[in-house]
A and B are shown apart, each in its own frame.
Chain A
């Protein structure tokens, strides 16, 4: 119990490098997509790519995927709180 890390299998170097390559590709993709006029979809596509990148960073680099379940619950509660605040504020902005 004194050292939780001992119970975890360590993530290999290769996996990190792979995730990094995917993150770089997504960055290039988001810059490329920005050059194309997609109208109202532009923001959605940019945010979707940012969300995918975040999920990769949180799951692999920040070890959420391999960590205790409690961290996932924590993160979910925090993100849901953020979402609720965003949605409620949006309703005020868009339907004022």
Chain B
């Protein structure tokens, strides 16, 4: 009987202990996130090297093919992503100041702009598809080798980036629920912060993709 009481006591003690000193390693979590971002950097870095090599080899074809990309849509998407990066940073700042509703609104805006980016991308790619420009299409295969390579790189790199945007939407939607439920709160928001880091990386990659593909003429 006494044994049971003791173990319950210890259990109760442990629970209270856990509550007073929750073991968390935000610093470690952040380092882990940055390490992941570096692997992302290498992933895209490799593609950028490939782009550089092909651009040197097929410089004229690249300039010619790039004229077919829609600068207006590209610029719009750049502005959309930059603004979503702003609302992401502001959302964290709002949560730090205990403004939950404002934080949720800003996080929602970030998700909305990420979706807007994908909608623009959809229209952009649809237009290309209707002109017969997509990987392996008969129209494209008739073209100069350099142009085939250009559009190959274009679809591979903006496609991989688009995939990251979609993953970002899913990730940030989870964060929205976490903030709403309060498991991500002003005292514990490392998840939101790390998601923000990921989102800024997606923005960073686009900062380079945009001039390298759209502004080539």
Contact = CB atoms under 8 A, between A and B. Distances in A.
Contact of B204 (A2, A49, A54): A54
Contacts of B86: 16-17, 19-20, 61
Given A4-B30, A20-B83, A27-B78, A82 B52 contact: no
Interface in A56-96: 57-58, 60-62, 67-68, 70-71, 74-75, 78, 82, 85-86, 89-90, 93-94
Interface of A: 1-5, 10-13, 16-17, 19-20, 23-24, 27, 30-31, 34, 46-47, 49-50, 53-54, 57-58, 60-62, 67-68, 70-71, 74-75, 78, 82, 85-86, 89-90, 93-94
Contacts of B201: 62
Size bracket, chain B contacts: 35 or more
B75 interface: yes
B97 interface: yes
Nearest to B48: A86
Contacts of A49: 211
Interface of A is mostly: helix
B135 to A, nearest CB: 24
Nearest to A74: B34
A23 B93 CA distance: 19
A74 B93 contact: no
Contacts of A2: 21-26
Given A34-B215, A89-B49, A16 B90 contact: yes
Interface stretch (B37-45, B117-125, B141-149, B172-180): B37-45
Nearest to B199: A61
A31 B93 contact: no
Given A2-B26, A34-B215, A46-B215, A93 B53 contact: yes
Given A20-B83, A24-B79, A13 B93 contact: yes
Nearest to A88: B49
Interface string B75-116: 100110011011011100110110000000000000000000
A14 to B, nearest CB: 10
B31 A70 contact: yes
Contacts of B56: 93-94
B134 to A, nearest CB: 25
Given A61-B200, A61-B203, 14 more contacts: A2-B26, A5-B193, A16-B86, A16-B93, A27-B75, A31-B75, A47-B211, A50-B208, A54-B208, A61-B85, A61-B86, A82-B42, A89-B52, A90-B52
